[in-house]
Every structure is written in structure tokens, then in C-alpha cells.
Structure 1
Amino acid sequence: MEAKKQKINNIFLTGFFGAGNVGDEAVALAVYNGVKLRFPLSSTTMVTRNKEYTKSFAGIKDSEFCIGFFPSLDYFKHIICHLKNINKSDLIIIGGGGLLQDVHSWTTIASQLLPACIGLVLNKKIATVGIGVGPIERKWLKNFVQFVLNNISLIQVRDLYSQNELIQYGVKPENINITADVVPSLDLKTIYELEKKTDQNQSKPNMVGIAFRKWEGVDKKGLASLCQKLIKENIKIIFLCYEPKSDQLFYKSIIDQVKGINEKIEIHIPINLEDAIKTLNQCNFILSMRLHGCVFATALEKDHFSFPYDNKVTEFETRVGNHDQILSIFDISPEIADSIFSRLDNKKDISETTKQFYKEKSLSKSNFNSLENIAELKSDLKVKFIAVGWLNYLILRSLIMYLNKVFKYLYRKTK
């Protein structure tokens, strides 16, 4: 392959945007802001499930949008928009977030790497920013990831676990750069004009924010007992919805187990990203299963306990020095309340965590600093031929998927 420098005027951004997840919309804003900071005169096109949601929730007003992720019907409805904007782009950016995994479906990886596959055919610069990788169970998806990432301009992953996963799939180690998740690059206090609270006279918190999610094996009974003890100590609990529909159901199942429900429990559904951040900032202590709940808490200098359901949470907490704050989702004790009170009574020094977080922030910003120097890779005919083959294979799989749905529907109708 030949490498040469090229001016960047148009940028195509793809990630899991517009799907109603607070963390993913924070990723969208971080990617957009990071790109615009590096290339202020460039125009951007973002792939999103819901254009209006991304505009209103993340506050991204000035980008163009393409609707739909492959292989959704919306994608095929707006396929001309996708192809047109990929073709005119000078740079395709994939990320951030945990995009390369097949926990839920093969379509997650396909939707994010398909634009890159098209880009390889069209000789486009392609880069990933702060992506999470794994687990991937399907062998063909591992092969697909290996092919695409071994032929793009720049690979940036958010942690060591992701790097090791890619190496296992056959991606060349020398091509992989470990940076950080993109969300720490956001200066939340500046963006949302937040001031650190100076009132330290309270010996106990008056508000605890909980950012949990439905997950197999999570100790719901233990979480309910913990909430019961916090309420007994006159603590207000705010359940933070990061995926409103599923989170509400989960939180209601916890509330049903708590006796004496009153005004001390609230389920908060944010109207936008600013509302989500400001609500968390009002809390004195945070309990979070979610990666970006932990990132927000650390960025806002909020003491917290994390309950990892995924390696990404453990990786982040360890990197910022919060390894002693990691607890199990499978064994949640009401005695955690005593630890919360103790940490706040003793005014736990979080200066070291803050120092480590600023290193993480610098690594996060490096995702975008690196984009200025990448060179266009001119794919040889063999790479283009294989890329076309993968595109045909993905289209075939999507066709089979829809035919299967039709047959199942017809079968149900005839029963």
C-alpha cells in the first residue's frame, strides 16, 4: 500500500448513536467535539438511529446525519445518503464505545465496520477512536474484524483488554494503539457550567445516585436491602436511567422490594445529556454498574463505588486508581451504606484519583490528536476484492435474516 498526505474536508462518523443510551450519546458528543477541535473547518456526517434524538439529547446541531444502521430497514431506506457521504469523505472514523462485540447480535460489528469496508474499496482514510473490543464468539466475525482492522489507517482502542482481544483475532500488534475511552475528553464542568460544591459540613450524604442496569445474576435483593438502609438513614435515592425503558423496569423491580416507599426514592429520566450530568452532579455519592456513570462521577470528583458487569468498567476504575472501590454485582450488602457514610465522614481524599483521571483525559484527547497525521492508505486490488466479498456476504446475511423473519411471521399466522 502507498501512503500519502491529504487535506481533510469531510469526515464520516459512525458509532452507536441515537439509540437512547446516555453513555452512547456522551460518546457521540465526545467524538464530534474532538473531531471539530482538530478539524474546525471540516464538515461532518454522523450515522445515527434517530437524528432528532442525537440533536436534542447530545446537543449536536451542526452536523449532517445519515439515518439507520446496517442491516436495519432505515439503513436501506437511506442507503444513498450513506454511500454518498462515504464517497465524499476524506476520513472515516469508527467509535468510540464497545462496538466490536457480538454479545447481542452479529449486526453490532457489521453495522460499524461496513462503512470501513466500503472505505477500503474507495481508498479512504479510516481510523478508530477509543473503541472497546470483545467478546466476539462467532469465528466469521473475528475474521471480518481481522481483515478490516489490518487494512485501515489507524487503530486506537480504549484499554489493554481490547488490544489483547484484537491480537487473538489476528490483528497485527504493532498497528494497535492503546488510548482511552473518548468520554473523558469532554470537559464536563466547563461544557455544563458546573461548580464544585463547597459545603462539606454534612457527615452523611443526603443524596445517593444509583446507575445500575438489568444483568443476569445481579443481586437485586441485596440492592433493595442497601436502599432500605439508606432510606432509614434519611438518605434520598435517585435511580439514574441511562437506558430509560429497560432501566425503569429494573428500578421498579428494586423499589417493589423496599418497604416504606416515600419521597426518598426517585427514578430520574434525563431529558438530555446536560440534565443527566447535572443530576449526577447533585448527588453526594454514586453507585454505578455503568462505565460512563463511573466516568462522569470521576470527572465531577464524586466519590463512588463501581459494580462492574463488564471488563470495561474494571479497566477504567483500575486505570484511574479506584481499584479499592470495585464491588461485586453478585453480592450487594446493606453494609455498603456504612462504608458510604464512613468515606464521606472522613472526607476521603480523591486528589490522587483526580490526578490519574487527568492522565486518562490526556489519553482520551490523544484519540483525536493522532488523526491529524494519518496518511491515506491506497488499498491494492487484492484488498479491494476481499472487501467487496465481505460486503456481498453481509448483504446476503441480512437478506437471510429478513427472509427468516418473514417465514416465522407467516408460520405464526397459519397456526
Structure 2
Amino acid sequence: MGALREGQAAFRVAISGYYGFRNSGDEAVLRSIVTAIREEAWAAGVEIEPVVLSGDPAWTESAHGVEAAHRMRPAEVLRTLRGCDALISGGGSLLQDATSAKTIPYYTGIVGLARLLGKPVFVYAQGIGPVKRAWLRPLVRAAMNASRIVTVRDEESAALLARLGVARGRIEVVPDPVMGMPLPAEAEAIAGDGMGGQGPGDDGAAPVVGVSVRRWRPDGADLARVAEALAALVRRRAVRLRFLPLHTPDDAEASRAVMDRLAALGAGDAAELAEPGDDPQRMLLEVGRCSLIFGMRLHALIYAANRGVPMLGLSYDPKIDHFLARLGLAPIGTTEALDAEAFASAADGLLTPEGAEAWRERHGSAIEALRREARRPAQLVVETLRGMA
């Protein structure tokens, strides 16, 4: 974007989230936030220098071209916040206690420390909840009420915050930041407008079905059902099942478990595993080359929407249902129940040129709206910082 222009204000902004763990979805959120705030700042005549609180600062600096500090070293966190002009908290599902009771105290603690230091806080496109433990709810309420701007990624998050005591008028619902993430620069020129990627059988070969799975049930019954559903699809038509690991190494292991089951069902020849990668834009490009995405991971579905690729979602968490609802969709199944033949029928329909085109006609306007609105939190951050100059 060029050097700092004469008289141009510059702001250092700390970013707190689940970064540095090489989870493609979270790294995509970070890439999207950094890109958006830098571009919006440049357009507004200011500069923003992000400093990311990361689990692996050296890797984050290399992968994203930003300064980073260790998120679990209190002295580094304090020094970073003290040296910054503001804090972005987000995006992602930070304020929830489904994974651990420690998650909410950590992220609200970062917000509280920033406020003690007199720094404004911007809650950036977060997914809120569940918050099942009563003792954690005041922490969420206090952090939100202490923040200058509160944006969340779905209506359900806004409703939960309102129930917890945050004024609904202070909360703005925006898309997940990844809806605005661009392809790698070298791929953008040949990718078209992003509505559809490769059509079913465009090159005469079998269409590619991208598959994103993760471990959820301890007994693995959900992954067994995924394998049975995919095998049912293979019996109906020729397809390539390309497994896309978004979280390394866990998703690769889950993918191999499904592939082993497919082999036992006689459908192993249709399956392949994509090379795990650290670059979220590369995974976005990978998704854009698919004719259909069948996903458990939220950001596999968001990548698909970003590229206009038809999708079938498998729900393991309300955030999957919430995102699909914004597109006018519902999950094809859950980790507790998935009808193999119903999945195969739905997938088969979307893999025809007519089915894919009808899907885009039905859902294209919702996708375009999410793309347009994805920059809204960055615009709010830049407007507020400009007012501080």
C-alpha cells in the first residue's frame, strides 16, 4: 500500500483471538481482519500497525506479516497493550465455555486489562456462547459493556448478549470476517467473480466434492456416518472426494479415519487427502476449485460461501446452524443423525449443472450481502481511531 504519507496518523492496534495455533479457520479470520483494517485505514488516510497476541509469535509474524507477542506471557501481553492505541477482541468464538471454563476468563481478562490501561476495545465479529456456567456471565457482560464497539457474527449472539445485560442497541450484527477474505493475489485475476468456482464436470472429469471433518463424538460414530453418506454418493455417481484438513494435525487424522471407513465400504478409490497448509487463502483457493462442499468445520462452509460453492453442512455446534441460516440453509444432518441416502440425494442434485445454478440463484443475493458487509467492523474501527487523532 505504500509508505506512510506526510501527516498521516498511525495507530498500533493489538489483536486478541485464538491465533498462532495453525487452525485454518482462525488464521483466515486473522488474515481477513488484518487485510480489512489495513485497507480501510489506507482509504481513510491513516495507518494501522497490528500487533497480534499469538500462541506462536514467530510463526504468526512470518505467516501474516505482522508483529506478534506471546498470548500466554503476562509481561509480553502487558507491554503490548501498554504500547498500543486500541485492542481488537476477535473474531471467532472466543466467549464460550463449551471447550473450557478458562476461555472466557482469558479473553475477558485481556479486555479488562486494556480498559485499565485506558485503551478502547473493539469487539470484532465474534460468535458468542454458549455460556452455560452462571459465574461466567457477569464477565461477558462486563467486557461487552466496557467495549467501545460491539459487533457479533449472528443474531443469536446478539440475543444472548442482550439476555446477559448488554443493551441491544449497542450490538451490531455483521458477517464473519472471512466472507471478505480475497484469494491469493496471483489467483485473483483468473478466478472470476467468485460465484461458483469449477462447475460440476466442467472439464469432463468427475466433480470434486470437498469434505471437511473433525473429531467430535468420542466413539467416532459421527465420522462413521459421514463415511456411509459419502459411500452412498459414490454409488450414485462418479465423484472425487477431496478431504480438506482445516486444523492441523487433528483434521487430517479425522479425514484418514473416514477414508479408512470408505475403503472398507468399497469407495476408497474415490477419496484423496489435500496437503495440509498454513495459508488460509490457499485453502480458500482449494475450496473454490470444488463443485460442492460437505463440511463440519464452520470456516469450510464460510470458504464455500465466499467462493459461491454449493454446500451441505453437518452440525456439531449451533454456530453451524446460525451461519447456514444466514444463507437460507439448514444442516443436512448432525453429529447425532445423518441419513446417508438423503445426503446422497441432496449432493447428487447439487452436482448437476442445473442444481448448482439453481442453488446460486436462490442463495447468491445473501452471499453477496455478506461479502459487502464483511468490512463493516473494520470501517467502525478506523472511524473511531480517526476520531482519536
Give TM-score scaled by structure 2 length: 0.84
Aligned-pair CA distance for 1:363? 2.2
Q: 1:113 to 1:326 in 2, by over 3 A?
A: same
- Bigger CA drift: 169-178 or 85-94? 169-178
Q: Select the residue among 108, 127, 132 that pairs with 1:132.
A: 127
Q: Which amino acid aligns with 1:65?
A: A
Q: Please say if 1:355 is aligned against 2:365.
A: yes
**C-alpha separation in 2, matches of 1:143 and 1:341:** 48
Q: Please show how residues 5-154 of structure 1 align to structure 2 within 5 Å.
A: 9-40=11-42, 41-56=47-62, 59-61=63-65, 63-68=66-71, 75-76=72-73, 79-154=74-149
Q: Are 1:236 and 2:246 an aligned pair?
A: no
What SS does the aligned partner of 1:358 have?
A: helix
Q: Does 1:320 find its partner at 2:322?
A: no
User: What is the distance in 1 between the residues matched to 2:233 and 2:123?
Assistant: 42
Q: Structure 2, unaligned stretches of length 5 or more?
A: 1-8, 192-196
Corresponding residue pairs, total: 360
Q: Does 1:212 align with 2:213?
A: yes
CA contact (8 A) 1:14 1:93 kept: yes
Contact 2:233 2:348 (C-alpha < 8 Å) held by counterparts: no
Matched AA of 1:45: V
Pair 1:173 & 2:154 matched:
no
Contact residue 206 and residue 239 of structure 2 kept, 8 A: yes
CA shift, 1:104, in A, is: 1.6
Q: Which amino acid aligns with 1:293?
A: A
RCO higher in structure (CA 8 A, sep ≥6): 1
2:347 pairs, out of 337, 340, 351, with 340
Counterpart position of 1:183: 178
**Displacement after TM superposition at 1:126 (Å):** 0.8
SS in 2 for 1:25: helix
Letter of the 1:307 counterpart: L
Report how far residue 326 of structure 1 moved. Answer: 4.0
Distance 2:37 2:20 in 1: 18
Determine which structure has more spread, i.e. the larger CA radius of gyration. Answer: 1
Q: Distance in 1 between matches of 2:173 and 2:243?
A: 33
* Alpha-carbon distance in 2 for matches of 1:199, 1:280: 14
Tell me the C-alpha RMSD between the 2 structures.
2.6
Separation (CA, whole Å) in 2 of partners of 1:148 and 1:210: 37
- SS of the residue corresponding to residue 224 of structure 2 reads helix
Q: Distance in 2 between matches of 1:186 and 1:219?
A: 30
Question: Kindly tell me: are residues 95 and 237 of structure 1, through their superposed partners in 2, closer, same or farther at Cα, counting changes over 3 Å?
Answer: same
1:278 to 282, 285, 291: 285
Question: Residue in 1 aligned with 2:377?
Answer: 367
Q: Deviations over 1:194-233 (max 9, x none)?
A: 5243675579953211112112386333222222234444
On the 8 A contact 1:287/1:304 being kept in 2, the answer is: yes
Q: CA deviation at 1:148?
A: 1.8
Q: Which SS does the other structure have where 1:351 is aligned?
A: helix
Gaps of 5+ in 1: 1-6, 69-74, 379-415
* Partner residue in 1 for 2:255: 251
2:228: which partner in 1? 225
